[in-house]
Chain A
Amino acid sequence: MHNVAVALRNLVKNYDGTSVPAVNGINLEIEEGEFVSFLGPSGCGKTTTLNMVAGFFAPTSGSILLNGQSVEALPPHRRGIGLVFQDYALFPHMTVEENVGFGLAMRKVAKAEMARRVGEALELVRLNGYGDRKPSQLSGGQMQRVALARALVIRPSVLLLDEPLSNLDLKLRESMRVEIMRIHRQTKITTLFVTHDQGEALVMSDRIAVMNAGNVEQFGTPSEIYERPRTRFVAEFIGSMNLFRCAVEGTSCEAGYALARAESGELLRVQSAQERPSGDPIYVAVRPERTAITRIPPQPSPGCISIRATIDEILYLGNHREYQVRLPSGEAGVVTVSNVADQDRSLATGDSVFLTASSDDCLILARH
């Protein structure tokens, strides 16, 4: 078993004067060396959670354990964590070297040792030779590297990254992603990464905690999150998802599958992890890239679902086409098709089509 580096137990944060809790009872265990992303829209409580781990906000209730030790009573400067901010927060009156050495100076590390470790840290972020510069002489990407070096040099038990890439332009953001992943591989420091960018979270994380309205909706590996989303929110926040309103029809189906009646009348046989009572309102969910679009009705098959639709719009996106369709029930759907040679390019706006997908690519999500 791995050691638990960070544990959040029933963590709740209520700001004064607000009735809705910003963080509403989070339970999470993060293993040592893991790279975990907190992913969610702004206001979902991810930054509040990070600030509680860092010690800037006190939890209203619940507890935070770092390496098994409860840290609520510890002020930020005794927690021994590393933190990188979105706006870098470099000390403008200090050189790069002094910035990186600050944490070591606070720990009263000897001069020679300090110089060695600052040098190592700058090398780790590939900024050797920049030690004498002031932050104002650096580019955004360089400032972010200094901020990383400054956080890493104290060998923190946990590294917190608060949207560190949001202020960078696209190209830089992508190279910094790889850089952070490399540094994580080299240092193996447990990392909590706060982001609202699903792409970043999917690429970088060992596990992702998807947050919404103060709750963790799902905590799992990137592929679990993408392929087996447990709620409508997770399904729609990461990638896009076709959701068809259905009701469970009977229970007479073999184990692991269920029959669902779509609002437009089709009976769909889809994979189902749990047994649901007849008439239960559900969504049948399927990713646009796992949906096929055809002009002729497919052969009825138990391993396949098929729904009638009309094409609203066709978007040409270079490497793929996106068909925006409408079901007879009025629901909207999306199908993406790779631009490869053998596809049907004759489809046009207004055409009647059939959407098909494998039963095993379909999911059932609760509908309230």
Chain B
Amino acid sequence: MTLAAAAQPATLEPRGTDVESRADPAVLAGVQPPATPTSFVAAARTLISVPWLLALAPAALLFFFFLVPTLIMLSLSVVRSEAIGPHGDITLANYVYLLSSPFYVWAVLRTFIIGISTGVLVVAAAFPVAFFLAHTRSRFRGALIALCLTPLLASVVVRTYGWYIILSNYGLFNETLLSVGAIDARIHFVPSTAAIVVGLVHALLPYGILTIMNSLTAINPNVVRAAQSLGATRLSVFVKIIMPLCIPGIVGGFLLAFTGAISAFATAAILGGPKQETIATLINTFMTGVLDWSLSGALGGILIVSTIAVTALGYWFGVGKARI
């Protein structure tokens, strides 16, 4: 679903880009570099080069089982289809249909509200933990890091189920509040949009912590010392040095939480109800209930476009910048 480390794809760059230490791949592979080949021969050589031979199987897998299905789904969203058989001309009717019905527009809006509030809350909760873990000298540091990864080990279903026990009508919250007399009648926490957000924040928090901790530990301590030596107080060191330097981590954590939240199905299905439909639960309905693959394709299209847009925005805003 998501990956804490996805915020730093830069590590995939090949090492040793300076000329002196750059190894000629052809030499390492024990083959002579081609001498001024024609374009056809060059193309053929490209395809049978060592890196492509290595990458062939995984690249084929990603092509046939990731790119092609995604494109098929998108292409189904721009035709009318009856069950499995698509027919007719290319049309935006599916999108128009969805976006002209208040019910679906609300579902889409609700999905984004869930995504944004989950992202903000994840960052807000993850930052103190990440800051603590990055700076503590406690001998339990390793154990604490492992502990904050446990929500990852539990499946979405398990995590969400725990919240269901806590938030449901006869759950911990209601019983506690009733017994201390704070409320007279049971509050219906579940199903609600807020319950979905609580469940998602919990589920996605580890990714936020890992991402922000990565960027905090990457800060050279001498930079902080330099700022202190120049007269900066602890507060201004934090505001002027640490915060700007970990913006990539914060933005990365937000992106992971946002994209994870808008496409989460299990949490929305368990902690939400008929009045809390999201894009993900609607896709499930269209796919398995109504069997309208064009509409589910269109909803998938909306998810893809918004994910890519927000990710691009995030990269533009800060993930790609400020690498020290």
**Interface of A with B (CB < 8 Å)?**
15, 18, 22, 42-43, 47-48, 55-58, 75
Q: Which of B28, B32, B33 lies in contact with A56, CB distance below 8 A? A: B28
Cβ contact within 8 Å between A58 and B27: yes
Binds A, one of B3-11, B18-26, B246-254: B18-26
The CA of A75 and the CA of B32, in the complex, are separated in Å by: 11
**CB under 8 Å from chain A, chain B span 1-56:** 19-24, 26-28, 30, 32-33
> A58, B19: Cβ atoms under 8 Å?
no
A167 to B21, CA, bound (A): 17
Decide: B19 and A56 in contact? CB cutoff 8 A.
Answer: no
A42 CA / B21 CA spacing, docked (Å): 12
Residue of A nearest to B29 (CB): A75
* A125–chain B nearest beta-carbon distance, Å: 26
Q: Which bucket holds chain B's interface residue count?
A: 10 to 19
A15 with B19: CB separation less than 8 A: yes
Contact indicator per residue, chain B 246-271, by CB within 8 Å of chain A (1) or not (0): 00000000000000000000000000
Supply 19 further A-B pairs (C-beta < 8 A) apart from A22-B20, A57-B23. Answer: A15-B19, A15-B22, A18-B19, A42-B20, A43-B20, A47-B20, A55-B27, A56-B23, A56-B24, A56-B27, A56-B28, A57-B24, A57-B27, A58-B24, A58-B26, A58-B27, A58-B32, A58-B33, A75-B30
On chain A, the residues within 8 Å of B28 by CB distance are 56
| In the complex, residue of chain A having the shortest beta-carbon distance to the beta carbon of B30 | A75
Q: Is the interface of A mostly helix, strand, loop or mixed?
A: loop
Bound form: Cα–Cα A76–B97 in Å: 66
Name the distance in Å between A61's Cβ and chain B's nearest Cβ.
11
Would A22 and B27 count as touching, CB distance under 8 A? Answer: no
Q: Which residues of B contact A75 (CB under 8 A)?
A: 30
> Roughly how many angstroms separate A126 CA and B85 CA in the complex, as a whole number?
80
Residues of B within 8 A of A15 (CB): 19, 22
Q: Given the complex of chains A and B, what is the CA–CA distance between A218 and B67 in angstroms?
A: 60
Highest count of chain A CB atoms <10 Å: which of B22, B23, B27, B28: B27
Give the most central of A18, A22, A58: most B CB within 10 Å. A58
Chain A residues with Cβ below 8 Å from B23 are 56-57
A55 to B32, CA, bound (A): 12
Q: Report B45 CB to chain A, min CB distance, Å.
A: 14
Q: How far is the CB of B304 from chain A (nearest CB, A)?
A: 37
Shortest CB-to-CB span from B287 to chain A, Å, is: 49
Q: For A47, what are the chain B residues with a Cβ–Cβ distance below 8 Å? A: 20-21
A361 to B19, CA, bound (A): 41
Query: Could you jot down 19 A-B contacts, CB within 8 Å?
Result: A15-B22, A18-B19, A22-B19, A22-B20, A42-B20, A43-B20, A47-B21, A48-B20, A55-B27, A56-B24, A56-B28, A57-B23, A57-B24, A57-B27, A58-B24, A58-B26, A58-B32, A58-B33, A75-B30
Neighbouring A residues of B20 by C-beta, 8 Å: 22, 42-43, 47-48
Complex CA–CA separation, A42 to B33 (angstroms): 26
Q: Chain A contacts of B27 at CB under 8 A?
A: 55-58
For B26, what are the chain A residues with a Cβ–Cβ distance below 8 Å? 58
- Chain A residue contacts of B22, Cβ below 8 A: 15
Complexed CA–CA distance, A55 and B24 (Å): 11
Closest residue on chain A to residue B21 by CB atoms:
A47
Contacts of B21 in A (CB 8 A): 47
A166 to chain B, nearest CB (A): 14
Which B residue sits closest to A46, measured CB to CB? Answer: B20
- Shortest distance from the beta carbon of A13 to any chain B beta carbon, whole Å: 9
Q: CA–CA, A84 to B289, complex, Å?
A: 68
CB-CB nearest in chain B for A59: B27
Chain B, Cβ-Cβ closest to A43: B20
Q: How far is the CB of A192 from chain B (nearest CB, A)?
A: 17
Contacts of A57 in B (CB 8 A): 23-24, 27
Closest CB of chain A to B20's CB: distance in Å?
5
Q: Roughly how many angstroms separate A48 CA and B28 CA in the complex, as a whole number? A: 15
**Complex A-B, nearest 5 residue pairs according to Cβ-Cβ distance, in ascending order:** A58-B27, A75-B30, A15-B19, A47-B20, A57-B24
Q: How far, in angstroms, from A48 to B24 measured CA to CA in the complex?
A: 12
**Chain B residues, Cβ within 8 Å of A43:** 20
